[in-house]
């Protein structure tokens, strides 16, 4: 008398709102037969008219897919747990009759989908019924949202709080030049509505936080993580696991990308792969390290593809697989991912049971690693005029030096500073500068350790110099 059948949210209305039902052992077929005899309304949602399981419903015994066991002849015994997982976990797994109809205009628009057996009329109606939320409308969210809208996903949730910046345009193809300075949400909504007026957009003008994540993500079927920072990645992962939602994951850096689908209910989560974030500053962001503009186009498209497969319940998704793409070498590598039994979130003894402070978890918000005296751009301009002895050291890379420089500065990249200290006169005032004021602070540490005392760093770097002192110095 002790086999537990977990009932997913969309099916609970048909079983008197129970989230689990205890039943007797037997084969899966016998268990489901008993269940659907007792709860007759459930039958139409689980079974085809011929009694076979609907193909968008998966059944797992203790986290193993019965298709990898003996199918519905798989036996369950006392203590086993059965999970019924519609292909859109947490979302609607409506019977065909409950799917929305397509208008003549939609039939025409999606005709190349409709003649694909794997999509067809039912699949297209399933896409129309689906609700997908994108975290971010930047590099990854741009291609992903464009393809999902074009494909006819009925509702797209967009979470963003940023404005379009000129440096976004080389990769964030959702936004145009005319939108620079506008809210990304407004820009995205206008473009997506133009692409496909049948798509309903739900805009969330906010940063995703531990306070709002569960509330926002709860009403969606699939979450597409297009974020660009570790706190948000862990937040999305944890919220998805707690809500039982699949997370179409992608990340990019320079020429390399990653993609997977994390779905803790049936497979590994992001924490199974990366239990802890790297220490702050170890992995540079795209703003610091650069990114090839077309790369998020490739990775974001993979995320859109996986999202559509999850909705259709077709093909093999990236659940349990991590794709590593190297654009320079043009290689795709695939790693098998396993659910970590010790995962603090989805393992056997979870310690993360509610959303936490992700900034703190990722070591951000703490005291900066480097301290030192600073000078602002306007003060520096005055001092340079009055004190010709003042030495200005540019610790950026040669590539950055080629883009722009401050007159009179000497280039000594941060990595070369220790071996080039002999070029500096310790009796003179020294000011270090970089792009935005982080590396120049590290340079101060090097100089102070070597005995230099009259050293300061330009706050805000050459970026501040350009905006506050000399606009003829280009920003980048
Ligand atoms: Zn996990």
Secondary structure of 154-212 in the HEC alphabet? CEEEEEECCECCHHHCCCCCCCCHHHCCCEHHHHHHHHHHHHCCCCEEEEEECCCCCCC
Q: Are residues 204 and 331 in the same domain?
A: yes
Structure tokens, 4: 């537990």
Decide if 121 is inside a domain.
Answer: no
Least Cα distance to 208 among 183, 227, 189 occurs for 227
Distances from the Cα of 184 to the Cαs of 163, 192, 434, 457, in angstroms? 5, 12, 29, 34
| pLDDT at site 94 | 47
Mention every residue, 6+ apart, whose C-beta is less than 8 A from residue 287.
167
Kindly give the pairing relationship between strand 131-135 and strand 81-86.
unpaired
| pLDDT at site 281 | 64
Burial of 248 from C-beta contacts in 10 A (0-12 / 13-18 / 19+): buried
Q: Are residues 183 and 222 in the same domain?
A: yes
Picking from 86, 110, 140, the residue at the C-terminal end of a domain is: 86
Distances from the Cα of 102 to the Cαs of 110, 145, 198, in angstroms? 10, 21, 10
Distances from the Cα of 252 to the Cαs of 162, 229, 285, 287, in angstroms? 19, 11, 9, 12
Q: From start to end of 304-354, where are the E strands? A: 321-326, 331-336
Catalytic option among 240, 272, 286, 343: 286
Give the C-alpha separation, 82 to 85, whole Å: 10
Structure tokens, 126: 């399933």
Picking from 314, 339, 361, the residue at the C-terminal end of a domain is: 361
Decide if 198 is inside a domain.
Answer: yes
CA of 56 to the centre of ligand 1 (A): 24
Is the sign of the CA dihedral 359, 362, 367, 372 positive or negative?
Answer: negative
Catalytic option among 272, 343, 362, 434: 434
Least Cα distance to 237 among 91, 137, 358 occurs for 358
Low-confidence ranges of the chain (pLDDT < 70): 1, 9-10, 55-56, 86-97, 281-287, 365-369
Q: Which residues surround ligand 1, an ion (CB under 5 A)?
A: 269, 271-272, 343, 345-346
CA of 319 to the centre of ligand 1 (A): 12
Q: Are residues 340 and 385 in the same domain?
A: no
Picking from 361, 389, 407, the residue at the C-terminal end of a domain is: 361
CATH number, domain containing residue 29: 3.10.20.30
CA of 432 to the centre of ligand 1 (A): 44
| Under 8 Å between Cβ of 56 and 50 | no
Ramachandran angles phi, psi of 358, nearest 5°: -75, -25
Give the C-alpha separation, 237 to 269, whole Å: 7
Distances from the Cα of 211 to the Cαs of 326, 353, 355, 371, in angstroms? 36, 14, 8, 32
| pLDDT at site 49 | 76
Mention every residue, 6+ apart, whose C-beta is less than 8 A from residue 242.
214, 354, 355
Decide if 63 is inside a domain.
Answer: yes
Q: Are residues 187 and 325 in the same domain?
A: yes
Domain that holds residue 410: 374-468
Q: Are residues 188 and 303 in the same domain?
A: yes
Contacts 24+ apart (CB under 8 A), 29-38: 29/72, 29/73, 31/3, 31/5, 31/76, 31/82, 32/59, 32/72, 35/5
Decide if 303 is inside a domain.
Answer: yes
CA of 125 to the centre of ligand 1 (A): 33
Q: Are residues 139 and 69 in the same domain?
A: no
Residue 434 a catalytic site member: yes
Q: How many structural domains compose the chain?
A: 3
Decide if 473 is inside a domain.
Answer: no
- Could you give the 3-state DSSP secondary structure of residue 64? strand
Decide if 102 is inside a domain.
Answer: no
Q: Are residues 390 and 342 in the same domain?
A: no
CATH number, domain containing residue 172: 3.40.50.720
| pLDDT at site 104 | 97
Q: Are residues 278 and 383 in the same domain?
A: no
Q: Are residues 257 and 339 in the same domain?
A: yes
| pLDDT at site 279 | 74
CA of 388 to the centre of ligand 1 (A): 59
Q: Are residues 183 and 226 in the same domain?
A: yes
| pLDDT at site 1 | 59
Q: Are residues 292 and 390 in the same domain?
A: no
CA of 271 to the centre of ligand 1 (A): 5
Decide if 109 is inside a domain.
Answer: no
| pLDDT at site 88 | 47
Residue 362 a catalytic site member: no
Please write the tens of the pLDDT for every residue from 347-406.
999 999 999 999 989 887 655 667 789 999 999 999 999 999 999 999 999 999 999 999
Compute the residue count for the chain: 476
Q: Are residues 199 and 280 in the same domain?
A: yes
Mention every residue, 6+ apart, whose C-beta is less than 8 A from residue 109.
152, 196, 198
The 10 Å Cβ neighbour count of residue 344 is 17
Please write the tens of the pLDDT for every residue from 76-102.
999 898 988 765 433 344 455 579 999
Give the C-alpha separation, 374 to 354, whole Å: 40
CATH number, domain containing residue 397: 3.40.250.10
Please write the tens of the pLDDT for every residue from 311-333.
999 999 999 999 999 999 999 99
| pLDDT at site 44 | 78
Give the C-alpha separation, 360 to 42, whole Å: 44
Regarding pTM above 0.75, the answer is no
Decide if 99 is inside a domain.
Answer: no
């Amino acid at each position: 008398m002790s086999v537990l059948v977990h009932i997913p949210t969309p099916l609970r209305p048909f079983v008197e709102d129970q989230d689990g039902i205890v039943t007797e052992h037997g084969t899966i077929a016998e268990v489901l037969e008993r269940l659907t005899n007792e709860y007759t309304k459930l039958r139409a949602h689980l079974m085809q008219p011929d009694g076979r399981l609907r193909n968008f419903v998966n059944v797992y015994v203790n986290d193993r897919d019965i298709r990898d066991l003996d199918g519905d002849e798989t036996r369950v015994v006392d203590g086993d747990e059965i999970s019924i997982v519609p292909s859109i976990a947490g979302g609607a797994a409506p019977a065909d009759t409950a799917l929305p109809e397509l208008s003549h205009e939609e039939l025409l628009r999606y005709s190349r989908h409709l003649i694909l057996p794997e999509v067809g009329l039912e699949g297209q109606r399933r896409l129309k019924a689906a609700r997908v939320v994108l975290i971010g409308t930047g590099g990854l969210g741009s291609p992903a949202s464009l393809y999902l809208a074009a494909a006819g996903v009925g509702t797209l949730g967009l979470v963003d709080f940023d404005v379009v910046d000129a440096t976004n345009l080389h990769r964030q193809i959702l936004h145009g030049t005319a939108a620079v300075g506008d809210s990304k949400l407004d820009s995205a909504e206008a473009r997506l509505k133009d692409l496909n007026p049948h798509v309903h957009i739900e805009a969330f003008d906010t940063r995703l936080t531990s306070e709002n994540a569960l509330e926002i993500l709860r009403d969606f079927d699939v979450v597409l993580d297009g974020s660009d920072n570790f706190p948000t990645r862990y937040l999305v992962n944890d919220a998805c696991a707690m809500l039982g939602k699949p997370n179409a994951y992608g990340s990019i850096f320079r020429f390399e990308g990653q993609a997977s689908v994390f779905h803790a209910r049936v497979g590994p989560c992001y924490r199974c792969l990366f239990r802890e974030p790297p220490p702050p500053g170890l992995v540079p962001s795209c703003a610091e390290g650069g990114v090839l503009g077309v790369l998020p186009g490739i990775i974001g498209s993979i995320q859109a593809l996986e999202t559509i497969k999850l909705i259709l319940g077709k093909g093999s998704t990236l659940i349990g697989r991590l794709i590593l793409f190297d654009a320079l070498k043009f290689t795709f590598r695939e790693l098998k991912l396993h659910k970590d039994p010790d995962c603090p979130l989805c393992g056997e003894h979870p310690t993360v049971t509610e959303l936490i402070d992700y900034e703190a978890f990722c070591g951000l918000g703490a005291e900066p690693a480097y301290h030192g005296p600073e000078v602002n751009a306007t003060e520096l301009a005055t001092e340079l005029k009055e004190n010709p002895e003042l030495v200005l050291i540019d610790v950026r890379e040669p590539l950055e030096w080629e883009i722009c420089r401050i007159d009179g500065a000497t280039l000594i990249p941060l990595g070369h500073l220790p071996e080039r200290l002999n070029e500096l006169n310790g009796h003179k005032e020294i000011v270090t500068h970089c792009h935005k004021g982080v590396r120049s602070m590290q340079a101060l540490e090097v100089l102070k350790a070597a005995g230099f005392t009259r050293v300061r760093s330009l706050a805000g770097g050459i970026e501040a110099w350009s905006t506050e002192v000399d606009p003829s110095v280009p920003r980048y």
